Amino acid sequence: MPGLFSNAAARAALRSAHASLADLTAAVGVSGLAATLSSPGLMSVIDQHAAGVRDSLNADTRPLTPILLAAYAEGVRDAAFQHGWVSPEGDIDWTESDWVLRRLLAVCMLART
C-alpha cells in the first residue's frame, strides 16, 4: 500500500502547485504577459528573469515542473515579504514594476511553456 499513498501525495502536491500557479497568473501573469506584448523592453527583462529562474532551478539538469515553479514563486514572495515588500493593490503599472513582480511574471511565463 505505500505506493498508493505516495501517489496520492504526489497528486495532491501537483494539484496544489497548479492552484498556486493559477492564483499567481491571475494576480500577476495576465496583466504582465499582456504588457510584454506591447513592450519589447519589458519582454527582454522578463526573458532575463526567466533565464535566472531556470538557472536557480537547475533546469539544464532537471525539467521545470509545476511543483518546482510554484515552490520557487512561494520562496520569492516569502523572502520579499520578510524584507518589507508589499504586494501591489489593484492594477500593476508594468512600466514601474519591481524586481519581485518581474521575477514572479517570469515564473508565470515559464509555467505556460
CA distance 64 to 54: 8
For residue range 89-110, list pLDDT tens digits in order: 889 999 988 999 999 999 999 9
Q: How many domains are contained in the chain?
A: 1
pLDDT at residue 18 tops 50: yes
What is the greatest pairwise CA distance in the chain? 53
100, amino acid identity: V
CA distance 24 to 55: 21
Per-residue pLDDT at 29: 96
pTM score, two decimals?
0.90
The residues, any chain, with a CB within 8 Å of residue 109's CB and separated by 6 or more, are: 29, 33, 36, 46, 50
Q: How many CA atoms lie within 13 A of 113 on its CB side?
A: 12
Query: Using 50, 70 and 90 to split pLDDT, how confident is the model at 59?
Result: confident
Range of the domain at 51: 4-111
